């Protein structure tokens, strides 16, 4: 009898074990990639991942950090797209994918940026880095400093180009995160990353044809970036971004054996993201977001706005009534019209958090002792 019970229990255990091993979760994707990450770029929420923190070679996806630093410098007016860069001997010697810059050649920041964003030009990114940071070493340091600021904890850069190096590595999570920050510049980057081809030196005797290696730009609806990468050690990599029905997502796939597999995995990830997410608009650009009572007795109120349309991304099954909105003041009186005074925090049912700057729409002076005294007297005799 004991033997029979043992056999029955063994059969049950084997059967259950077999079933568990072969169950495929409804949301599990069949992917070729060693590592992937799908991210919603505003909240930085991970929608799907596979080995997202595995350290791998990024190849030319590295250049996304260089592009970010250039756009940040342009936005902060440290440099201009119209500035002319004088190409150094070092920049002209890069090799690999390039636009064949010559030593002492002059080219505008905008054209060099275009060459990197479309054609992944090694010489162009080094020329830009040297112009911004005075040397290539300083530029690489800036890249690592920004990576720390972004909490890209799986990343260390050892060059600006993406050349293979044991000390040059990242993860799909970090690249999706970097891509999410980069698309925050919107048209400034997407204008170029969405171009299938273009030219530099167009009106000269040496025009150079730029060809984008992200072939999904032509075939995938809504795709407008972002950066491919390939070396023999890195395999085929791609950080892509696409937008449909108000929803933008960023995906990273790494260490693929073919371009076809890279494209297939990217399509699967993006399709998955669009099937799960929806966009809703909470405030228009001119809407009052919150009114703060500064001193009711003095009839002093601060009216605030985000001064931009506020759209958030939800899971399709999320109930919009469960959204939590909190407006926070980060300073005390006085308030000056158009001044940054705090932030608006929006939390979705899935736990995603969206933050937006909050600006004063009116000025409020700081109450003084005489004002308080006069107000007290007014209330005593009314």
Tokens of 186: 């919107």
Q: Is residue 22 part of a domain?
A: no
Is there a single domain that holds both residue 273 and residue 289? no
Contact between 109 and 79 (Cβ < 8 Å): yes
- Is residue 9 in some structural domain? no
Of residues 43, 49, 120, 305, which has the active-site annotation? 120
Question: What is 285-309 written as a DSSP string?
Answer: TT---EEEEEEGGGTEEEEEE-SS-
From the candidates 63, 146, 243, 300, which is the catalytic residue?
Answer: 63
pLDDT computed for residue 4 by the predictor? 41
Domain boundary residue, one of 254, 278, 302 = 278
Asked if residue 183 lies in contact with residue 190, where contact means CB atoms within 8 angstroms, the answer is: yes
Domain termination residue (choose one: 239, 261, 278)? 278
Annotation says 120 is catalytic? yes
Whether residue 261 is found in the same domain as residue 332: no
56: left (phi over 0), alpha (psi -120 to 50) or beta: beta
**Model pTM?**
0.87
Q: Is 313 helix (H, G, I), strand (E, B) or coil?
A: strand
143 and 213 assigned to the same domain: yes
106 a catalytic residue: no
What lies within 8 Å, CB to CB, of 170 at 6+ separation is 55, 56, 57, 58, 61, 62, 152, 154, 155, 156
Examine the domain organization and report whether 148 and 259 are in the same domain.
yes
Say if residue 239 is in the same domain as residue 273.
yes
Shared domain for 64 and 212, answered yes or no, is yes
261, 278, 295 - which closes a domain: 278
Contact 286, 308 (CB under 8 A): no
- Identify the active-site residue in 33, 43, 49, 60: 60
Q: 238: exposed, middle or buried (C-beta count within 10 Å: 0-12, 13-18, 19+)?
A: buried
Say which residue the tokens 């297939």 belong to: 264
Q: Does residue 333 form part of some domain?
A: yes
User: Is 63 annotated in the active site?
Assistant: yes
Q: Quick check: 89 and 123 in contact, CB under 8 A?
A: no
Asked whether residue 199 is assigned to any structural domain, the reply reads: yes
pLDDT at 28: 84
Q: Which strands, in side-by-side order, build the sheet including 324-329?
A: 290-295, 300-305, 353-360, 340-347, 324-329
Shared domain for 94 and 241, answered yes or no, is: yes
In a shared domain, residues 274 and 302: no
Whether residues 100 and 132 fall in one domain: yes
Q: What is the pLDDT along the chain (382 residues), one digit of tens a residue?
A: 433 433 333 333 333 333 333 333 445 899 999 999 999 999 999 999 999 999 999 999 999 999 999 999 999 999 999 999 999 999 999 999 999 999 999 999 999 999 999 999 999 999 999 999 999 999 999 999 999 999 999 999 999 999 999 999 999 999 999 999 999 999 999 999 999 999 999 989 999 999 999 999 999 999 999 999 999 999 999 999 999 999 999 999 999 999 999 999 999 999 999 999 999 999 999 899 999 988 765 668 999 999 999 999 999 999 999 999 999 999 988 999 999 999 999 999 999 999 999 999 999 987 666 555 655 555 565 5
Report helix, strand and coil shares of the chain as percent, to nearest 5: 35, 30, 35
Place of tokens 């799907």: 48
Q: How many domains is the chain partitioned into structurally? A: 2
Residue 24 lies in a domain: no
Please, is 227 exposed, middle or buried when counting C-beta atoms within 10 Å of its C-beta (0-12, 13-18, 19+)?
A: buried
Q: Are residues 296 and 320 both part of a single domain?
A: yes
Tokens of 300: 């002093």
Q: Which domain holds residue 362?
A: 284-372
Residue 324: give its domain's CATH number. 2.60.410.10
């Amino acid at each position: 009898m004991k033997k029979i019970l043992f056999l029955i229990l063994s059969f049950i255990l084997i059967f259950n074990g077999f079933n568990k091993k072969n169950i495929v979760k409804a949301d599990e994707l069949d992917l070729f990639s060693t590592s992937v990450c799908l991210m919603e770029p505003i909240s930085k929420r991970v929608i799907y991942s596979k080995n997202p923190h595995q350290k791998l070679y990024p190849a030319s996806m590295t250049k996304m950090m260089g592009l970010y630093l250039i756009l940040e410098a342009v936005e902060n007016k440290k440099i201009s797209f119209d500035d002319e860069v004088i190409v150094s001997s070092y920049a002209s010697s890069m090799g690999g994918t390039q636009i064949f810059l010559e030593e002492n050649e002059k080219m505008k920041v905008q054209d060099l940026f275009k060459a990197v964003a479309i054609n992944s030009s090694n010489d162009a990114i080094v020329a830009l880095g040297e112009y911004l940071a005075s040397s290539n070493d300083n530029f690489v340091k800036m890249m690592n400093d920004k990576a720390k600021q972004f909490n890209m904890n799986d990343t260390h850069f050892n060059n600006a180009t993406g050349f293979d190096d044991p000390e040059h590595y990242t993860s799909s999570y970090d690249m999706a995160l970097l891509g999410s920050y980069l698309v925050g510049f919107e048209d400034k980057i997407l204008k170029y990353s969405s171009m299938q081809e273009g030219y530099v030196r167009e009106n000269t005797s040496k025009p150079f044809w730029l060809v984008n290696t992200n072939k999904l730009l032509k075939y995938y609806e809504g795709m407008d970036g972002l950066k491919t990468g390939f070396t023999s050690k890195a395999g085929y990599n791609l950080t892509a971004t696409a937008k449909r029905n108000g929803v933008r997502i960023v995906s990273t796939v790494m260490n693929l054996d073919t371009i076809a597999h890279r494209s297939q995995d990217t399509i699967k990830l993006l399709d998955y993201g669009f099937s799960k997410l929806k966009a809703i608009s909470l405030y228009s650009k001119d809407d009052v977001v919150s009114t703060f009572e500064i001193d009711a007795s003095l009839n002093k109120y601060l009216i605030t706005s985000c001064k931009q349309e506020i759209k958030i991304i939800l899971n399709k099954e999320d109930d919009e009534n469960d959204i939590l909105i909190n407006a926070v003041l980060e300073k005390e009186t006085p308030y000056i019209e158009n001044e940054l005074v705090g932030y608006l925090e929006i939390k979705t049912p899935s736990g995603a958090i969206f933050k937006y700057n909050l600006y004063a729409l009116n000025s409020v002076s700081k109450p003084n002792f005489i004002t308080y005294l006069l107000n007290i007297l007014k209330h005593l005799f009314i």
